Copies of this chain bind each other. A is one copy, B any other.
């Protein structure tokens, strides 16, 4: 009379089973799991074979209990709902961090922390070290989340320069200022004389650095700064469009525009088209990000590529290092000019 239930889930193998199979002690198996120091090649091979044979996977809960490490890190979604849904960079970063962490076998826990209520809810979770560290996107807008993390004594790494630089906070950014300079030099070298810019909010990602880069090159090339050629958007498509309209009104003779994000650049392209001007013949447009929209526009966008892959990797590396006891660090990564049709 066999069991009627098809095949009941028999317990997964434990380190004990592996030890028995390999003919060694649990301790030796554990040592192999930790990297195999002080284990003879023969034992190592035996254990490896046993692990494969049994399909053994370490029980993270048990490990976590004794090591007092969660073995996972959090990605904090600190953005408000609306913004979250629109930023193509967030998706890119999230994907990059997930992949980078997978390489280290560290699960990524997604945590919503956009509202005050959410922050209150997760505070005990973080304080109790249910994760070993946290990754932050766009930490720039306000610092409540950062305060919380510091108070919890949890290692964390921001993507983007945090506003409050008082404490030593780890962060990874693209070189916004130099990137802006590169784009500007490209426009100048292409013979453009009246170059406008649509900057982002000074407290947003990139901060005022991209605007600063714009000014740097004007100075460098001895071009007079004209404040009529500067507009400030909020990184949304709509703001890019309205800023461009304003610029075209204030300075109809402009022949290029450096836009601080691709999304705004898309809006700008639209405004230019509606004004009956052409890109790039009348007006050259340079973006920033090389996000997914850059290839979707007509014409496609010439833009500065942010090295998201490397940014993710560095954030993860920095975070893991910090968890291991390293001090905070800041990493600045170079951007790359991607030439397409708009300039």
Contact = CB atoms under 8 A, between A and B. Distances in A.
Oligomer: number of copies: 2
A150 to B, nearest CB: 13
Given A95-B112, A109-B108, A85 B296 contact: no
A259 to B, nearest CB: 16
Contacts of A39: none
A95 B77 contact: yes
Given A55-B124, A292-B86, A108 B110 contact: yes
Interface stretch (A60-68, A171-179, A248-256, A335-343): A60-68
A314 to B, nearest CB: 18
Contact of A124 (B57, B72, B81, B92): B57
A49 interface: no
Contacts of A94: 110
Interface stretch (A17-25, A126-134, A159-167): A126-134
A256 B70 CA distance: 56
A206 B108 CA distance: 30
Interface string A217-233: 00000000000000000
Contacts of A55: 124, 127
A94 B238 CA distance: 25
A334 B47 CA distance: 55
Interface in A91-106: 91-92, 94-95, 98-99, 102
B75 A84 contact: no
A236 B293 CA distance: 11
Nearest to A12: B128
A292 B95 CA distance: 20
Contacts of A121: 102
Contacts of A328: none
A57 B153 contact: no
B118 A111 contact: no
Contacts of A236: 296
B112 A99 contact: yes
Contact of A130 (B57, B70, B84, B130): B57
A110 B98 contact: yes
A70 B61 contact: yes
18 contacts: A12-B128, A57-B127, A61-B61, A61-B64, A61-B65, A72-B109, A77-B98, A81-B95, A82-B292, A85-B291, A86-B292, A99-B112, A102-B121, A108-B109, A110-B110, A236-B296, A237-B296, A238-B296
Interface of A: 9, 12, 55, 57, 59-62, 64-65, 70, 72, 75, 77, 81-82, 84-86, 88, 90-92, 94-95, 98-99, 102, 107-112, 118, 121-122, 124-125, 127-130, 153, 236-238, 291-292, 296
The 9 closest A-B pairs by CB, nearest first: A57-B128, A61-B64, A61-B65, A85-B292, A107-B109, A108-B110, A61-B61, A98-B112, A57-B124
